Structure 1
Amino acid sequence: MRAFALKIGLIIFTTLFVLHSPLKGQTNYTKLIDSAYSFYQKKEYSNAGSYYSKSFISNGNLGTQTDRYNSACSWALAEKPDLAFTELNNILSGKGVVSGSGDLTRLYKMLIEDVDFKNLHGDKRWNLIVSKAEEIKNTFLKKLEDNQIEFEAGEFKSMAFSKIKTGKEIYQMIKSFNNFKTKNERNYSIKFKVTDSLNTSYFVCLPKNYNPKKRYSLLFFLHGAVQYNSFTNFQNERVMEGWNRFYTKYAALNNVIMVYPNASKKYNWMNPDDGFFMIPAILKEIKQSINIDDDKVFISGHSNGATGSFSYLMKQQSPFAGFYGFNTQPKVRNGGTFIRNITNRSYFNVSTDEDYYYPPNANDSLNVMMTNLKADYQDHRYIGWPHWFPQFDESEPVYPMIFKDIAGRKRNPFKKDIYWECDNLNYGVADWIKITGLDTLAKPASWKTQLNFNILKLLAYDKNENLIAKDTLLKAFNFPRKSGAVKGSFSNNVFHLEISNIKSFRLLISPEMVDVSRPVVVFVNGVKKLEQKVSYNREFIIKNFKETLDRKAIWIDKIDIAL
């Protein structure tokens, strides 16, 4: 039963892969695989093995690792050990196996636990197969570990601040640092610690001829279907294929670093909030050893991943320059969607008119709202395409537009005008403003209003898989908690802040914003609150830098205001 359960999982995995892999004659291959598995379930093992063989022949003698494994199981149960060992040797050698289609680290455990191979245990070839599988597993894991050590090597995280006396010198040291190491590989799978007992991974693809003296743009891609995903300790090049093939193509053409994080049902970028820390934390890890342009870090995604991208725009935008999404549901799932927060950044939306996840009429209403806000927002609508638009080759024209936007866009953390609203102090920071206390009992200011709209129709598939429109009445955004908001601007060492439902906040100061030799004056709701000098605060600079490893947005001092 245990082996049977394993095969069920493997078959599902294979079906997903075959749909989006470069296999020839996919339709015939898939049909033959389905027939083979049907025979296996009926315990007609010889027929199952024969149909697996036919499927490989139909595909130019290529098969996925999973299908080769299931073929070996079938031949073993059919008491044809020579054919079973042939398939197992094919897997171990990679002969006739689609590149990147399996996980050899799991093979060893499966072999020793799978009762389908019981008939082979007395054969002298069996121990050789098991030993070889264990050797491959150990070699692979050791290489993975060595690659991660090599990837993480660098001087950045161990800058010798103790030898520097003044805050101004430390500021200059951080700003001018450019001593990164060369990298031996282009592609790295990196293990990432989520909790003390739980790990996941992210995959990094560096540009060809990566130059450690040059600062690079970086783009995160957030995958969808987070409710059905689980963590993996490593990833391989397959993440660059399939639906992500055009990211791979155009990132290479534009010398952009691609990063593919892996989320789970509990720890992700959408809901619940437990995993929202991951993307900024992964970015910080990468900055320790890779020369990233801090003003050119971006997030994109599809479906749940696009909702994640939009959520970072709404909740934690400071480290990022711009946001992109295919088939987005533009909504924060575990808090308020404070749509005015977009005015500090941008969003590039790719929508389709046959999307059950977010209907076209809702996108139309959102477009009107964004126009009224004068937001930097684009909606590129594609007609006649479903939610899974990136699967199709016809989606390719979008990607040159995305990478052109990336090339021409950079973050400005010292923007003279800012708006920020939050209902959770964990997400109270936007560039140079930090909300440190909320006063949700006070009457809101007249300018602090909730922006929302009604969604009147949803799209859904009926039992015949026809897409139909259904009448509904939903609000686009939820507001489960009361919030506080601030509007701010600065010029000539004078800050003007309008606040609503806030009892305390902090201004983060950069020499890019003020003349440090002169006092800074702060007005709150039209009333002068203070006038004071700022300085290159040595300890504050170090503390903030260690939190973000940002070489551009370097805060030298702070001004705390309590109301």
Structure 2
Amino acid sequence: MRYGILIFLILLSFFVQAQDTYSNLTTKALKQKESAKEVDEYKQALNLYEIAFKNYPDSIDKVSLYYAAVIAVKIKDYDKAFLYLTPLAAMQTDGNGYPSWNYILRDYANEEFKNLISDQRWGTLKATAISKKKQFYDELQKREEEFYSGNKIILKETETAKQLYQQIRNFNPYKAKKESDYSISFIVNDSTKTSFFIHLPKNYDPGKKYSLLFFLHGAVRHNALVDYQFADWNLGGWNRYYTKYAEQNDVILVFPKGSRQYNWMTPDDGFFMIPEMLKVIKRGINIDDNKVFISGHSNGATGSFSYLMKQPTQFAGFYGFNTYPKVFTGGSFIENIKNRSFVNFSTDEDYYYPPNANDDFTRLMNEIKADYKEYRYNGFPHWFPQFDESEPAYKILFDDLTTRKRNPFPKEISWEFDDEKYGNIDWISNIKLDTLSSKAKLHKELNFKITQWLEYNKDDSLISKTVDKAAFDFPRSSGRIKAQYDNNIFHIETSGIQSFLINISPEMVDLKKEVKVYINNKLCFKGKVAYNRAFMLQNFENNKDREQIWINYIRLKVQ
């Protein structure tokens, strides 16, 4: 009997040891650290880390070394603090979380490790971290140069204007890529940089044109710009299904990094970033200009909707998870959706935008015959992408994306705006407002009231509260333009517009014949349009678009 008990205790000991994996030990250590108040409690946490380091030396990670060093400083064991900080500073960056050197060099390290700074070992430690940081950025720069290498855009100056048009259409200077993942820096302004992370399909072929999907992250108010990103930050977790279906469908993924000030929702300071990122991406890889899309979650979904409302020309379609369908920097002119499409994935337990408002929005979309679809998932909160049950939504998204294509020369355009920065849509550009003129019949305001909103109470329970809220705001006077063409004849209706350009493509009109333009039923232009070499070159420089190519323009003033 005693022998049996002994065997049982030995097996139990092995079982307990088996449970104390590196992960379990460091998790316990972190919990102990977070709850500790007394020195002895901090010592217990450090002891757990030390057991983990001793028993699993091949598993030692930078986060645990950092926490162990922080605890050592708290208990004033500075030798141990340096013991853990020294290998941390020298670690190679592993692509997960912060680079190791950042724990030593970031701003608040001086506060966390203030009692170490006077020690000469701190200077040595910092020098190691600075060296590792330089190596990191040197490697980033090399990868970025390789991403763009061999792709300098050169158009032959000797070509005739007509030949130049064909040269642009057939333009392909692209080279094979060494990697599938690139972190690319992006200049926001003279003093500010951010980045985007780009994930290429396996066996990327530079001779093939690829669909591209931007993913705009949410929580813009709680994010900060960073000039580098890692695969682990973007391709797993909530984004795992983007990665899965993008790889199945050979779609390029792009993950921009925004912040409270520079983002795609509000304010307007960073709204230029996505179109500009697309432009620089086209320097490096072969993109199908008619298959570029935007998706996002929460604030990112609102950003996707905002590009649809304000700047859709370069894009084929838009998607959003848990979308707040509103422009926060001006008017929400929802008939603009008729130029493209939007697919919304909503949930019935969303505090960000309530289901009853989604119902009314969908009803309005149906009334104006917009290309809009909403898929409702019941029983899920705002953070729907976190759940495995969200996977069918991604399949719907990619099924739509793979079959959808931009029409670069639509026969009809309907556009309304209140900021001249966004006075451009496909073949109409540089539209100037006339806010003093009276509104025409085509200039109608579409809106609805929201009366119920979901929110979490102090008990963290979701409740419905009564509100009296307009779905959209209209803080400024707007202009509206409706346009169509057929058989070399353009008919334009305007309201609140003083002037604009019609961009011309040989895909739209017969250049051998006269073009006629009627504005509000008055003939305002009659004549032939010829190729304009300088305009073609400038236009291609501006957007790198090989499908929507303008050979000249007609300048028009509303009389």
Match of 2:443 in 1: 448
CA distance in 2, matches of 1:119, 1:557: 67
Q: How does 1:431-510 map to 2 (within 5 A)?
A: 431-510=426-505
SS of residue in 1 equivalent to 2:549: coil
Q: Give the direction of change, closer, same or farther, for the CA distance of 1:490–1:63 in structure 2 (3 Å limit).
A: farther
User: Which residue of 348, 352, 372 maps to 2:367?
Assistant: 372
Shift of residue 150 of structure 1? Answer: 1.2
Q: Give the direction of change, closer, same or farther, for the CA distance of 1:447–1:117 in structure 2 (3 Å limit).
A: closer
Match of 2:378 in 1: 383
Shift of residue 135 of structure 1? Answer: 3.1
1:236 counterpart = 2:230: yes
Match of 1:144 in 2: 140
Match of 2:208 in 1: 214
Which range moves more in the overlay, 309-318 or 209-218? 209-218
Q: Is the 8 A contact 1:205 1:257 kept in 2?
A: yes
SS of residue in 1 equivalent to 2:379: strand
Greater Cα radius of gyration, structure 1 or 2:
2
User: Which residue of 329, 336, 343 maps to 1:341?
Assistant: 336
1:195 counterpart = 2:199: no
Q: Give the direction of change, closer, same or farther, for the CA distance of 1:220–1:275 in structure 2 (3 Å limit).
A: same
User: Which residue of 34, 44, 47 maps to 2:44?
Assistant: 47
Shift of residue 446 of structure 1? Answer: 1.4
Q: Give the direction of change, closer, same or farther, for the CA distance of 1:26–1:299 in structure 2 (3 Å limit).
A: farther
Q: Give the direction of change, closer, same or farther, for the CA distance of 1:119–1:363 in structure 2 (3 Å limit).
A: closer
TM-score, with structure 1 as normaliser: 0.89
CA distance in 1, matches of 2:465, 2:45: 45
Q: Is the 8 A contact 1:486 1:498 kept in 2?
A: yes
Match of 1:103 in 2: 99
Q: Give the direction of change, closer, same or farther, for the CA distance of 1:76–1:406 in structure 2 (3 Å limit).
A: same
TM-score, with structure 2 as normaliser: 0.89
Match of 1:397 in 2: 392
Q: Give the direction of change, closer, same or farther, for the CA distance of 1:63–1:249 in structure 2 (3 Å limit).
A: farther
Instruction: Kindly provide the amino acid, as one letter, of the partner of residue 208 in structure 1.
Output: K
Q: Give the direction of change, closer, same or farther, for the CA distance of 1:516–1:156 in structure 2 (3 Å limit).
A: farther
Which range moves more in the overlay, 32-41 or 444-453? 32-41
Q: Give the direction of change, closer, same or farther, for the CA distance of 1:294–1:105 in structure 2 (3 Å limit).
A: farther
Instruction: Kindly provide the amino acid, as one letter, of the partner of residue 134 in structure 1.
Output: I
Instruction: Kindly provide the amino acid, as one letter, of the partner of residue 469 in structure 1.
Output: S
Shift of residue 94 of structure 1? Answer: 5.7
1:116 counterpart = 2:113: yes
Q: Is the 8 A contact 1:76 1:120 kept in 2?
A: no
Shift of residue 465 of structure 1? Answer: 0.4
Match of 2:282 in 1: 287
Instruction: Kindly provide the amino acid, as one letter, of the partner of residue 250 in structure 2.
Output: N
SS of residue in 2 equivalent to 1:375: coil
User: Which residue of 381, 391, 406 maps to 1:411?
Assistant: 406
> Per-residue CA shift, 1:242-279, capped at 9, x if unaligned?
11111111111111111110111111111111110000
Instruction: Kindly provide the amino acid, as one letter, of the partner of residue 34 in structure 2.
Output: Y
Which range moves more in the overlay, 200-209 or 39-48? 39-48
Q: Is the 8 A contact 1:69 1:87 kept in 2?
A: yes
Q: Is the 8 A contact 2:26 2:48 kept in 1?
A: no
Q: Give the direction of change, closer, same or farther, for the CA distance of 1:127–1:447 in structure 2 (3 Å limit).
A: closer
Q: Give the direction of change, closer, same or farther, for the CA distance of 1:59–1:479 in structure 2 (3 Å limit).
A: farther
User: Which residue of 268, 275, 298 maps to 2:270?
Assistant: 275
Shift of residue 42 of structure 1? Answer: 6.1
CA distance in 2, matches of 1:30, 1:406: 41
Match of 1:361 in 2: 356
User: Which residue of 171, 178, 199 maps to 2:172?
Assistant: 178
Q: Give the direction of change, closer, same or farther, for the CA distance of 1:66–1:211 in structure 2 (3 Å limit).
A: same
Instruction: Kindly provide the amino acid, as one letter, of the partner of residue 442 in structure 1.
Output: S
Shift of residue 336 of structure 1? Answer: 0.6
> Per-residue CA shift, 1:110-145, capped at 9, x if unaligned?
598466385697687x77655543332221111011
CA distance in 2, matches of 1:418, 1:264: 33
SS of residue in 2 equivalent to 1:516: coil
What count of residue pairs does the alignment treat as equivalent?
536
Match of 2:8 in 1: none
> Per-residue CA shift, 1:22-74, capped at 9, x if unaligned?
xx998996564232133278685423312445788999985763342021232
CA distance in 2, matches of 1:285, 1:514: 30
User: Which residue of 195, 217, 225 maps to 2:219?
Assistant: 225
SS of residue in 2 equivalent to 1:430: coil
Shift of residue 88 of structure 1? Answer: 3.5
Instruction: Kindly provide the amino acid, as one letter, of the partner of residue 507 in structure 2.
Output: E
Instruction: Kindly provide the amino acid, as one letter, of the partner of residue 300 in structure 2.
Output: G
CA distance in 2, matches of 1:519, 1:227: 53
Instruction: Kindly provide the amino acid, as one letter, of the partner of residue 184 in structure 1.
Output: K
Shift of residue 210 of structure 1? Answer: 0.8
Instruction: Kindly provide the amino acid, as one letter, of the partner of residue 106 in structure 1.
Output: N
Which range moves more in the overlay, 309-318 or 61-70? 61-70
CA distance in 2, matches of 1:25, 1:386: 33
Q: Is the 8 A contact 1:32 1:54 kept in 2?
A: no
Q: Is the 8 A contact 1:77 1:119 kept in 2?
A: no
Q: Is the 8 A contact 1:440 1:482 kept in 2?
A: yes
CA distance in 1, matches of 2:149, 2:40: 53
CA distance in 1, matches of 2:242, 2:552: 39
CA distance in 1, matches of 2:539, 2:191: 28
Shift of residue 376 of structure 1? Answer: 0.8
Q: Is the 8 A contact 2:488 2:510 kept in 1?
A: yes
Instruction: Kindly provide the amino acid, as one letter, of the partner of residue 116 in structure 1.
Output: F
Match of 1:12 in 2: none
Shift of residue 532 of structure 1? Answer: 1.0
SS of residue in 1 equivalent to 2:284: coil
Percentage of identical aligned residues: 47
SS of residue in 1 equivalent to 2:157: helix
SS of residue in 1 equivalent to 2:147: helix
Match of 1:167 in 2: 161
CA distance in 2, matches of 1:469, 1:396: 28
Shift of residue 179 of structure 1? Answer: 2.0
CA distance in 2, matches of 1:173, 1:477: 45
User: Which residue of 253, 258, 265 maps to 1:263?
Assistant: 258
Match of 2:66 in 1: 69
Q: Give the direction of change, closer, same or farther, for the CA distance of 1:545–1:536 in structure 2 (3 Å limit).
A: same
Q: Is the 8 A contact 2:89 2:101 kept in 1?
A: no
Unaligned runs of 5+ in 1: 1-23
Which range moves more in the overlay, 112-121 or 283-292? 112-121
Q: Is the 8 A contact 1:222 1:308 kept in 2?
A: yes
1:548 counterpart = 2:532: no
SS of residue in 1 equivalent to 2:459: coil
CA distance in 2, matches of 1:546, 1:138: 33
Q: Is the 8 A contact 1:64 1:101 kept in 2?
A: no
CA distance in 1, matches of 2:38, 2:158: 70
Q: Is the 8 A contact 2:490 2:518 kept in 1?
A: yes
Q: Is the 8 A contact 1:186 1:206 kept in 2?
A: yes
SS of residue in 2 equivalent to 1:337: coil
Shift of residue 108 of structure 1? Answer: 4.0
Q: Is the 8 A contact 1:271 1:333 kept in 2?
A: yes
CA distance in 1, matches of 2:349, 2:94: 33
RMSD between superposed Cα atoms in Å: 2.7
CA distance in 2, matches of 1:303, 1:59: 40
Instruction: Kindly provide the amino acid, as one letter, of the partner of residue 163 in structure 1.
Output: T
Instruction: Kindly provide the amino acid, as one letter, of the partner of residue 434 in structure 1.
Output: S
Shift of residue 489 of structure 1? Answer: 0.9
Q: Is the 8 A contact 1:341 1:420 kept in 2?
A: yes
Unaligned runs of 5+ in 2: 1-20
Which range moves more in the overlay, 408-417 or 54-63? 54-63
